[in-house]
């Protein structure tokens, strides 16, 4: 089965540690040890999470000596946001229609 890029993004976002790592990277580049520290996880565990983020195109990693430095690549998030926005519009229309019905009922004696 071939996964679409958006599938990789949503999979990467499905874990709270990976979401927190992305939030940290909005502040600038970090090495894997710095990304692991707030989660009390090993370098190996953090590196696995970073690999998932890399696979989704959300993180770029470069090696400087023994340091693995990560940087946020936010473009795939815009595609996820666009997909979610479609459904936000769908639900807003449904909720607006419900609001109109409830208002009409309230105004009817």
Domains identified in the chain and CATH numbers: 5-107 (1.10.10.10)
Residue 85, token pair as written in the block: 């926005």
User: What's the sign of the alpha-carbon dihedral 50, 56, 58, 61?
Assistant: positive
pTM for this model (two decimals): 0.78
What sections of 2-74 are H helices per DSSP? 5-13, 16-25, 32-36, 43-55
For residue 96, name the pLDDT band (cuts at 50, 70, 90).
Answer: confident
For residue 2, name the pLDDT band (cuts at 50, 70, 90).
Answer: very low
Spatial CA neighbour of 77 closest among 29, 16, 19, 24: 19
What would the mean pLDDT of 37-56 be, rounded to a whole number?
Answer: 95
Helix, strand, coil shares of the chain, percent, nearest 5, are 65, 15, 20
**Number of Cβ atoms within 10 Å of the Cβ of 70:** 25
């Amino acid at each position: 089965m071939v996964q679409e890029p958006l599938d990789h993004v949503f999979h990467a976002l499905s874990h709270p540690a990976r979401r927190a790592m992305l939030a940290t990277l909005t502040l600038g580049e970090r090495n894997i040890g710095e990304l692991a520290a707030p989660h009390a996880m090993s370098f190996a565990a953090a590196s696995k999470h970073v690999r998932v983020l890399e696979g989704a195109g959300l993180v770029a990693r470069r090696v400087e000596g023994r340091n693995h430095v990560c940087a946020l690549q936010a473009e795939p998030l815009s595609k996820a946001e666009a997909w979610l926005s479609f459904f936000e519009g769908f639900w807003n229309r449904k909720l607006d229609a419900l609001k109109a019905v409830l208002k009409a009922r309230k105004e009817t004696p």
